[in-house]
Structure 1
Amino acid sequence: MAAQGFTSCPKKVRSTRRGSRRWRRALVAAAAVITLPGLAGPALAMPAHAPIHRTPQGGFEELMVPSSMGPVKVQVQWARHGGDAALYLLDGLRARDDFNAWSFETGALQMFAEDDVTLVMPVGGQSSFYADWRMPSSTNGQKFTYRWETFLSEELPAFLEQYGVSRTRNAVAGLSMGGSAALALAAYHRDQFQHASSFSGYLNISAPGMREAIRIAMLDAGRFNVDSMAWPWSPQWLRMDPFVFAPQLRGLPMYVSSAWGIPGPHDNPEGAVGYFNTLNAVALEALSMVNTLSFMTRLNDLGIGARYSLPTRGTHSWGYWNDQLAGARPDILAALGL
């Protein structure tokens, strides 16, 4: 009996052990699939270039974009039909830290609402000229160095590419400080921008008196130091001057506008402050016109074409820049193939 009992037991034990080993192997295999998704095969693999997120077509969104300056807010109105073209809209010298003024001072959002183009409106950059500075501003305790050209030409396009926005099918437009910056970005990044618009820009910043005028304006707008941006007439300063880099604009579709500073339909001052602001806007626009005419002469001498809008009436204010964006819109859309 003992012998019989002994001989019958191993079959059950061997069966139990084989079952246990099979379960262990199954568990190990399952763990491998869970911890190494790449081993699960094509059915479980994520698309390599899928957008990480997309709002409904034509929707509005605020993004926080990583940069060498820290996170930068960017307001976006997505293309109406999901297209990959984009228009960058650059602010003026008094750019705010909460909103890009194109989003609330003008009808830009409504103007392009039915077009298949994404509006890209970076927030911040007061007195920056959207340039890469040599150091933080030494007159206001700035803790970091402006790197706006790097952000707009490298970091932001790479981020937006994840949302389906092309890195090469773009236009750029800006007013005042943003006008000269728009031309600079397009001149040095021709693979990225297919059109540039400057509204009331300062397009000859190396002309006599211009640097000191900019110094005063930057101190008034945030106490920024122009010398922290670039030394006087250094290669870095000249690189920012549209009059100097004009030859690099050859073949680029451009819309360039400025007015003579005579008050027009958008000027309705009230009280002492209103009249002071209007007089200031008159002077700033007149200075922009002098710069623009100099720049236009330079382009004509080089045989470089552009579309100009030089109305008599108009001051350095948002109502006129809204009008000029509307005027540039057909050219912008045509350059983007829309």
Structure 2
Amino acid sequence: MAVQGASSCPRHGSVPITKRARAKRFWRRTLVVAAAVLALPALAGPALAMPTHPLHRTPEGGFEELMVPSSMGPIKVQVQWARHGGNAALYLLDGLRARNDFNAWTFETNALRQFAEDNVTLVMPVGGQSSFYTDWSAPSSSNGQKSTYKWETFLTEELPAFLEGYGVSRTNNAVAGLSMGGSAALALAAYHRDQFKHASSFSGYLNISAPGMREAIRVAMLDAGRFNVDSMALPWSPQWLRMDPFVFAPQLRNLPMYISASWGVPGPHDHPDGATGMFNTVNAVALEALSMMNTMSFIGRMDQLGIDAHYSLPVEGTHSWGYWQDQLADARPDILAALGAN
């Protein structure tokens, strides 16, 4: 008959187990189990690398809004991550009336859908009205601006450094823009060849030193936020000439480019409705005609220098988003090829 507690007594021929021996046995077994657990990853295959950058809040191919630190204060940047986790990026620059809530490429066009299946991250900075995406000399003196625009610094130093933390390359980028953003795209690529492998200008002003252009830009900037062009760069100063694609054209040699402008003839995207619609269409015709004059001057300069680019110069088209959407779609194969993302 078993007696309660008899298991603690040694059976015939057994050796008493002391507390110290039991402790040693316990720790020996623990170490064996721990070693087996540590060996499991090696048996299963290579260990998974830990993430080296912040995790996206959305999956690959998803849309996200980031707040990026800058000398101008936090800047909102809208991104659509590369569909397959690639490191290439396309910067899409806005026009003169850039808003402070959204980059217009996200809602005026189908740009997000165009690149939805491509292995390239779309980078769409928000803000910069009338900035020409350059570093200004001083805050605008005509509208009480508090800080000085430093958009070139942001787009070529602060933003790439920030995005690098998310796995976006600092050297495998393209840049595209419309109107104000068109000339800015060429300037950014010309002076930062280590960053940009392709540049696209849609209806850009590519000879801003031509007679009358500075005053035309002055009027446009006053209308778009009451910004003073003299605070951006003094007349015909080195800083002003540095912004002119006609002047810095030699620095574009061997850079893949897509340059487009239309002749201002209303086409399939023009449907004026009422007096306001008619006024806007007439204005878009005039702006596009001016862009074409600038573009033709720029093309002549490029031909003189023997520099090639992909040109698109349709007859139909006004200064409006429907046509820029079409031009982006036309430029897309060139952009993807330059980035190795096709």
SS for the counterpart of 1:332 is helix
CA distance in 2: counterparts of 1:52 and 1:307, whole angstroms: 37
SS of aligned partner of 1:291: helix
Cα distance in 2 for residues equivalent to 1:139 and 1:271: 34
CA distance in 1, matches of 2:61, 2:328: 19
Structure 1 spans left out of the alignment, 5+ residues: 1-46
Tell me the TM-score normalized by structure 2. Answer: 0.85
CA gap of 1:207–1:165, structure 2 versus 1, over 3 A, is: same
Give the corresponding residue for 2:314. Answer: 311
- Give the letter aligned to residue 53 of structure 2: P
2:342 matches 1:335: no
Letter of the 1:325 counterpart: L
Quote the residue 1:205 is aligned against.
208
The answer to whether the aligner puts 1:94 opposite 2:88 as a matched pair is no
Counterpart of 1:65?
A: 68
* Root-mean-square deviation over aligned CA pairs: 0.9
1:53 equivalent among 29, 39, 55:
55
The SS at the match of 1:89 is strand
Instruction: Tell me what 2:132 maps to.
Output: 129
Question: Deviation string for 1:58-105 (max 9, x for gaps)?
Answer: 010000000000000000000000000000000000000000000000
Does structure 1 residue 141 correspond to structure 2 residue 162? no
Provide the identity percentage: 82
Instruction: Report the alpha carbon displacement of residue 287 of structure 1 after superposing the two structures with TM.
Output: 0.1
Matched, 1:276 2:285: no
Q: For the Cα contact (< 8 Å) 1:49–1:162, is it kept in 2?
A: no
State the match for 2:155 in structure 1.
Answer: 152
Q: Which amino acid in the other structure matches residue 92 of structure 1?
A: G
Could you tell me how far apart the structure 1 residues matched to 2:189 and 2:301 are? 17
Match in the other structure for 1:35 = none
What secondary structure sits across from 1:64 in the alignment?
A: strand
CA distance change for structure 1 residues 140 and 193 in 2, over 3 Å: closer, same or farther? same
Q: For the residues of structure 2 that align with 1:102 and 1:224, how far apart are their CA atoms?
A: 23
Give matches, 1:294-305, under 5 Å: 294-305=297-308
**For residue 190 of structure 1, what is the amino acid of its counterpart?**
R
Give the Cα separation in 2 of the matches to 1:56 and 1:313: 39
Structure 1 position 176 matched with structure 2 position 166: no
Between structures 1 and 2, the one with greater helix share:
1
AA matched with 1:293 = M
1:293 maps to: 296
Structure 1 residues 228-247: aligned runs within 5 Å = 228-247=231-250
Provide the C-alpha distance between the structure 2 equivalents of 1:317 and 1:110, rounded to a whole number of angstroms: 19
Deviation by residue 1:16-72 (Cα, 9 ceiling, x = unmatched): xxxxxxxxxxxxxxxxxxxxxxxxxxxxxxx99811222310010000000000000
Secondary structure in structure 1 of the residue aligned to 2:246: helix
**Aligned-partner Cα distance in 1 for 2:288–2:269:** 14
Other-structure match for 1:261 = 264
- Contact (CA 8 Å) 1:202, 1:292: kept in 2 or not? yes
> What's the counterpart of residue 28 of structure 2?
none
- Look up the SS of the partner of 1:105 in the other structure: coil
| Deviation string, structure 1 residues 128-151 (Cα, Å, up to 9, x no partner) | 000000000000000000000000
CA distance in structure 2 between the partners assigned to 1:49 and 1:134 by the alignment: 41
Whole-angstrom CA distance in 1 between matches of 2:298 and 2:272: 31
The runs of at least 4 aligned residues of structure 1 exceeding 2 Å deviation read: none
| Match 1:248 to one of 244, 248, 251 | 251
State the SS of the aligned residue for 2:84: coil
Instruction: Classify 1:49/1:131 alpha carbon distance in 2 versus 1 (closer, same or farther; 3 Å).
Output: farther
TM-score with structure 1 setting the length: 0.86
Find out whether 1:323 has 2:326 as its counterpart: yes
What residue number does 2:44 align with?
Answer: none
> What's the CA shift for 1:127?
0.1
